[in-house]
Every structure is written in structure tokens, then in C-alpha cells.
Chains A and B, each alone.
Chain A
Amino acid sequence: MKSKNLLRIVPLFFAVVPSSEICAQQSSQPVKAVQIIGLPAVKENEKGTLAVENGNLHFVHGRGTSDISTSSIQEVVTGADSQKAVGKTVGTISMAAPYGGGRFLSLFRKKIDTLTVEYRDTDGALHGVIFTLPPGSAETMRQELIAHGAHATVVIEHTAQASGSLRKEKNQ
């Protein structure tokens, strides 16, 4: 009887431990991101990966890495926006397409999340950084930053294309 119970419990234990490990890994997994503006010595619209590691917001891009200490973060705000599905050069060239083909292509857009971070450097100077992330990942990143010591106010923000209304409730 005892051995039967043991047989039931042991697999359960092994099933629970890895799943909790997977959750922990998911929370700190790097996410593809585009730095729109704000990081020192990083070009605008630089692509890279964003993760929260060792108490830092860690952005890895083609030319190196940038870190922002989570304790220096004063505000983290998420938002939703959209961008052209066919962008850059092809999007520009398509504007010359006959019969409004370019305009038709403009109707296709993909959703993106925005993550806006305000922090102060060692001299107390205020910096602001804007990232765009895949949809659904900005809020996870925000929660992670708060868990690692970033300050934030509760913000319920509507899409940037909407009326631009922003409801803000002080939390901390």
C-alpha cells in the first residue's frame, strides 16, 4: 500500500518541479524589442532583445548591451499601438503603385505593445526610453520590473490611436 502511494507521489513531485522552473524561465526570457528612443549611445529604432536580469533591464542589440538598474526606474507605462505590416522600403515604394495599391497595403497593420520607462542616472538626471514589443509582452515585462524594484503607477492606457485618453491612478 505504501509503495503504491509512493509511486503516485514521486512522479507528481517530478511533474511539479520542472513546471515551476519553466515558469521562472519564461518570466526572464528575452523578448524581441525595438528601442525607439532614449537609451544613451544606442541608435533610434535599434532592434534587439529585452530582458530583466540581475536587477537590470537588459537590452542586447547589434553593437552591444545597455542596462538600466530597476531600482532607478521611476515609472513604467505600457501602451498599445499598431504599425504597418509592410513597412520600410517596400512600404514606401508601394506608394507609387497604381490604382491605390499602396494605400490598400497601408490598411494591413500589426499590433504592437509599447513600454515606456523613466529612470534617473547616478547624477539624478531624468531619462526616458521607449520600446516596442510583440503584443502581450509589455505588461509581463512591466510586472517583472515592478517585482525587481521598479517604481510605477497604475495606468490604464487606451490605444495611442484612440482619443488619447489616459486614466491614471496613483498606487505608490
Chain B
Amino acid sequence: MRNLRYITAFLSLSGVLFACVVLHAGNERPAGFTTRSIQVATIQSDDEISVPAEFRVALYEHLVHQLEKQGFEHVYRDGDRNSTNAPNLVVLQSTVRRFKPGSERARQVTTVAGETSVTVHCQFTDQAGHTLLEQDVNGKVRFFGGNLRATYDFAKKASRIANQKFITDGK
């Protein structure tokens, strides 16, 4: 009789714990939200940060290329009229939060100095504008390569995050 009480208590406790875990997992990302269509908006920057035009363009172009590589079937560019009919479209809005231009010469001569780094706030929203995911992503070049390589590093990381959240995890 006492054993039966213990078993009942254990089972009910386990049930509560399981429910908590399921609910918590549900809060992390929209349940079952998968998509293979994404639109990349133009790269913005905070008012006090000035980002050279070539960096803005390189961020945008690398982002488009890397998202295509990561398995998104349709990667729409900013202003693309074809995106209006795309189902489950996710829009990626990127804002540069921090930018350190660095110096390729300093990197090559000293090895330790001259790092180029860029921190971009990535916001993934649905078509209605509801935020699905927000994250700061960093891109940097420490040793080899030109300053623009930091934009490639950022794009690789951001596209990997997008893949994980909207393609891999959704399956």
C-alpha cells in the first residue's frame, strides 16, 4: 500500500517535470516553425557608428551567398517583389552595433594587433513583423586576410544560426 503511494507520487512528479521541460522548449523557438524562404534586408547601423560602404555591401552580399549555401531554397534580397507570395517567409534584419576597422598591415607585421571586428544584431522576424529570434553575431579577422574577411566570418556564423533554427531544428 505504501509502495503504491510512492509510485503514484513519483509518477505525478515525473509528469510535472516532463510538462515543464516541454513548455520550456516551446518558449525557446516557435513550435514547428520551419521555412526555406528567407529575405535579407539592407544592413543598417546604429547612429553613432559609421560603417564604410564596402563593409555594408560585403556584409549583405556574403549573407545572401552563405544563406544559399546553408540550404535555404529561396533567398530573397531586399525589395525583391517575388518575396510577397513566399510562404513562411523569414526576414533577417541586421544592424551593426560595433565596428572596429583594424589594419591588415598591423596584423601582418605584429600578428597580435590590428584585428578587424564587426558585431551585428540579427533579428529574424516573420512577415507580420513578429520577432522569431534575436541574436548578436560577431565577425572578425585576426591573422590572415583583408579587412573585408570579417564580413565573411559574420555571414558564415549568422547563416549557420539561421539554418539551425529554421531548417535543422524544425525537422
Interface of chain A residues 118 through 172 with chain B (CB within 8 A): 118, 120, 123-130, 155, 157, 160-166, 168
Q: Closest Cβ of chain B: how far from A169's Cβ, in Å?
A: 13
Main secondary structure of the interface of A (DSSP, over half): strand
Q: How many residues of A contact B (CB 8 A)?
A: 37
The one of A38, A79, A120, A128 that contacts B52, using a Cβ cutoff of 8 Å? A79
Q: B103 to chain A: which residues have CB within 8 Å?
A: 161
Distance between Cα atoms of A38 and B79 in the complex (Å): 17
For B103, the closest partner residue in chain A by CB is A161
Q: A36-B58, A107-B105, A126-B60 are in contact. List 5 more A-B contacts (CB 8 A).
A: A79-B53, A106-B108, A124-B81, A130-B57, A130-B58
Q: Are B62 and A37 in contact (CB under 8 A)?
A: yes
Distance between Cα atoms of A109 and B104 in the complex (Å): 10
Q: Are B101 and A163 in contact (CB under 8 A)?
A: yes
Interface of chain B residues 59 through 80 with chain A (CB within 8 A): 60-62, 76-80
Q: Are B105 and A161 in contact (CB under 8 A)?
A: yes
B50 within 8 A of A: yes
Q: Are B78 and A125 in contact (CB under 8 A)?
A: yes
For A75, the closest partner residue in chain B by CB is B53
Chain B contact residues (Cβ within 8 angstroms of A): what range? 20 to 34
Q: Are A155 and B53 in contact (CB under 8 A)?
A: yes
Which residues of B come within 8 Å of A, CB atoms?
Answer: 42, 50-54, 56-58, 60-62, 76-82, 99-101, 103-105, 108-109, 146-148
Q: Are A160 and B52 in contact (CB under 8 A)?
A: yes
User: Which are the 5 A-B pairs with shortest beta-carbon distances?
Assistant: A128-B57, A106-B108, A125-B77, A77-B53, A164-B101
The number of inter-chain residue pairs (CB within 8 angstroms) is 94
A56 within 8 A of B: no
On whether A160 and B54 interact (CB within 8 A), knowing A37-B61, A103-B109, the answer reads: yes
A69 within 8 A of B: no
29 residue pairs of the A-B complex, CB under 8 angstroms, read A37-B57, A75-B53, A77-B53, A79-B52, A81-B147, A82-B104, A84-B104, A103-B109, A106-B105, A109-B105, A116-B57, A123-B80, A124-B81, A125-B76, A125-B78, A125-B79, A125-B80, A127-B61, A128-B60, A128-B61, A130-B54, A160-B52, A161-B104, A161-B105, A162-B101, A164-B50, A164-B101, A165-B50, A166-B52
Q: Are B61 and A107 in contact (CB under 8 A)?
A: no
